[in-house]
Structures are given as structure tokens and as C-alpha cells.
Amino acid sequence: MITLAVILLSFIALYFYNKRTFNYWKKKNVKHDKPVAFFGNNKEGFFIQKSKVQLNTEMYNKYSNERVVGFYRGTKPELIIRDPELVKRILVTDFGSFFYRGFLPNKDVIEPTLRHLFASEGDLWKMLRTRMSPVFTSGKLKVMFPLIVEHAENLQSRISKIASSEKSSDAKELMARYATDFIGACGFGLEADSINNENSYFRKLGYKIFAPGLVDAIIAVSKDMFPELCKNLKFFSRIEDEAKQLAQDIQKARNYQPVGRNDYVDMMLALKNQGTIKIESIEKTKSDGSPELVSIQFDDDIFMAQLILFFAAGFETSSSSSSMTLHLLAYHPDKQIKVQEDIDRVLAKYNNKLCYDAVKDMAYLEMAFKESMRIFPPLGYISRQCTKDYTFTDMNLTINKGVNVMIPIQALHMDPKYWDKPEEYRPERFQSDNEHKDVYLPFGNGPRNCVGTRLGLMQAMAGLAAVLSKFTVEPAPNSKLRPVIDPKSEVVQGIVGGLPLIFRERNKTRI
């Protein structure tokens, strides 16, 4: 009897503890759904019925007259931003109040695989961003481009065999294998050959990173709901040991020194060999307001984490957007013809050879690619965390330090207020680069935008040019114009069942 009473009292205490923050948005006069104990507004997320992107989009559409919408992720209040002007303030103008991404529920306990540029916070992020930006300059891209062409030609050869069989093939998987091979060659100096080898080690690693199971999804939700209780749980324990071993093998193969390839690994080795790196802090200031000088040790875990990020982000986001472009062109053959005419016209100027300048000249292909990322951005949302109390002065709204703000990219990209008939696939929307600059955010904006934007764009464009110069794509019998989004998706949007397409040889080849 006593035991039952203790259990009952514990449950009641936990119930009221979980409701302790549920007046936060009511007190601030921010519209929101009524939260439920334990789950807040995230019940469907907890039971893996809907992804963060889907939930953010629903709230965005439900409160169409609001500039911001309140949300409770478990007990934690979040703010969903609906107004492009506020988005720009958070990402650009007032970045100093929002430089944390908010991806890590507990900054004091950071698992090794997350000590990379995307997830890291504060001074570690600043050091990595400053040191890594030089590898993605236009000059470096031109040097890398022959490797892109080599793997684009391998992709052509693979699709040629598929086309001759007249069977459908998953465009997402094909583009992922192409991107994996390029990233392996250009980033690590390793030949993965996943385009031909179904059992490629690198492709299997990619599956492990971006194919979380039920346990992984539960861990992600649990860390959101109970950050203190679950702070020692790891998102990526399934790959940590393997990632560490891969990083050690790559370093050992180069004798722990840069070898003159000037690739990503060389740059990381140079940084690691510096040991302690000093920077002006973004988090700490002296009494006079000037930044403190802080020291950061570039250790083995940081080295490993950057390799995993470069590999994972390089193949997943690029393959997602390029395969979606093929998918949408298959359903819009008139647009596909215009893309192919653009590719043919440009290649004719360059002796029918794919090169850096040729890809830069393919204007309509780029428009088609950008339109695909509008309809289905790989990253469907951006998160930022308030680094200090912040006031939206024109709204008389103050949010506290530690509150996450969510920028629903997918919802902004499909809002008819900013896009005429947003459900339609119309590459012509992007004839002017500045027309939608504040509501088109596939690569983010501001100091924490995607550092590899240009590399990802060139890699995807070259792959698309290689495919569409030689093949026409059509929907497969089991294709769906609007694919089903995987509710287990955490950061990058996943698709259930892939993107099956039929590839047919064109009458006229170019490469």
C-alpha cells in the first residue's frame, strides 16, 4: 500500500513538474496550442508520427495571421517564426543574440561525433568556421572540378546500364552514391566506388548516419523532453567507434601530416598539428566589453567530427536536392526539355565537354535546381537559441536566454503569400536572384549559413548535367509526385521508399 502511494505521489509530482513552464507563452500573449503534460505540443513527435518539419509547418499554417507562434517541445518553450523580417533579424542583423544553433540539448555534455561545425556552439563554432571557410573558395572549386567530372561520367555509365534494362531505379540512391564517391575522392583522397559496388563501405556508413532506427528516434525525443535526465544518451553511438577508427586510419595513411593534396583532410591535419588555437571569444568579454582571447585544443575528436560532417553533409543534402530535381522534371516533361536544351546549348560552346565554366553557364538548369530546393529543401527548418534575453521591440515581446527559435523553411517556401501558386513547379521563379532572398533559405542565411553551399551546388549541377545530357527521366509505376516524408527525420528530411524513376537514353548524347 505504501509503495502504491509513493508511486502515485511520484507520478503527481512529475505531472506538475512537467507543467511548470506551460504558462510561458500565455503570459507573453503569444498564440499557441494548449500543451499536454509530458509532451507539450510534441505528442506526435514523441510517438514518431510526424517530424519536426511537419509539426513546424502545421503550426505555421494554423496561425496564418501571426508573426510568431508558441510551441512546447516537452516542457521547453520554443518560438516558431513566421515573419521574414524577423527571420532576417535572427539570422543576420541580431546574430549576436542568436549565434547558438540550439541543436545540443545540453552544452556541457557533447558527444564526440557532434563536435563539428554544424552542431558546435560558441567559440568552438567560431574557430571552425573561420578556419574551414578557405577550403570552399571559387579557386578551390575549380581545382576540384575534374574530380567532379570523373565521377559524373561514372554516374553516366551506371545509368546507361540501368536504362538498357528498362527497369526503374531509385534516383535518390544513385545520386547519393555519386556524391559519396566524389566526397570520398575530393575530401579524403579515397576511392569509394559506391556507384558500382553495392557493398561500398562509405555508402554503408552513409546509411548508418542517415537511417536512424526506432531507438535513435526515441533518444532524440527523450533528449528534447528531459535534457538533464538524458544528457548522457548519445545520438550517434551507432557510428562513434567506427568514425574514430576511420579518422585514425586516414591520419595514419598520411603519416599524420598534410601531403600537399590541399584537400579537406590536409586542412584538418594542418589545424590539428597547430595544437592549441587562439581566437577572440564570441561568448566571453572583458570588463571593457572587448572579447577575451580563448584557446581551443584541436584534438582527435574534433578532427573526427569534421570528417563525418564533411562526408555526411556532402552526400546527403546534395543527393537529396539533385534527385528531387530529377523527380520533379520527370513529372514536368516540358521543363525537362527546356533544361536539356539549356545543357545542350552550353555544352556545344565547350566542345561538348563538361567543365567548371560550362556548369556555371547553365542558367535554366540552375533555376530548375533552385526550384526543387524550394519545394523540398533538404533542411526543412533552421533552429537558433537565444544567447541572452532578447526583445522584439516592435512586438513588445521578450524571450529569455535559452529559448529556441524555429525558422520553418519548408513552410516559408510553400507560403502563397510569398510565392504565386507555390505547389506548381516553375523554375522561372528564379530568373531574378534577389526576388525571394528573405523567404528562400535552403542554405540558411547569415554567419551560420552553409559553408559548403558553392561546392554542393556545383557537385549537384554537374551530376544533373551529366545525367540529363544523355538521359530522359520518367516517373516509374510506383512513383508519387508528392513523396511521403519519413517521420523519423531529425535534421535532413527523409523520404519513405526513395524516388524511383525510369531512365531512357536520349537520341542525342553530349558527353
Q: Which residues are annotated as a binding site?
A: 450
| Rg (the chain; Cα; Å) | 24
Mapped onto helix, strand or coil, the DSSP state of residue 36 is strand
Residues in contact with 217: Cβ distance below 8 Å, sequence separation at least 6, in sequence order: 48, 488, 490
Q: Could you tell me the CA-to-CA distances from 174 to 161, 167, 177, 369 in Å, in that order?
A: 12, 14, 5, 17
**Contact present, 146 and 104 (Cβ < 8 Å):** no
**Contact present, 389 and 376 (Cβ < 8 Å):** no
DSSP letters, 430-499, are: GGSTTTTTTT--TT--GGGS-TTHHHHHHHHHHHHHHHHTTEEEEE-TT--SSPPBPTT-SSBPPBTT--
Which positions make up the binding site for heme?
A: 450
State phi, psi for 180 to the nearest 5 degrees. -60, -45
| Residue found under cell 565554366 | 357
State phi, psi for 299 to the nearest 5 degrees. -100, -175
**Contact present, 119 and 100 (Cβ < 8 Å):** no
Length of the chain: 511
Residue 458 buriedness (CB in 10 A; 0-12 / 13-18 / 19+): buried
Which of 233, 234, 210, 230 lies closest to 74, judged by CA? 230
Cell output for 205: 556508413
**CA 109/CA 149 separation, integer angstroms:** 42
**Contact present, 322 and 175 (Cβ < 8 Å):** yes
**CA 58/CA 112 separation, integer angstroms:** 34
Cell output for 177: 552514391
Cell output for 398: 521578450
453-468 and 171-188 helices, crossing angle to 10°: 130
**Nearest 10 degrees: Cα torsion 455, 379, 449, 362:** 40
**CA 429/CA 436 separation, integer angstroms:** 9
Strands 76-81, 68-73: parallel, antiparallel or unpaired by DSSP?
A: antiparallel
**Contact present, 438 and 127 (Cβ < 8 Å):** no
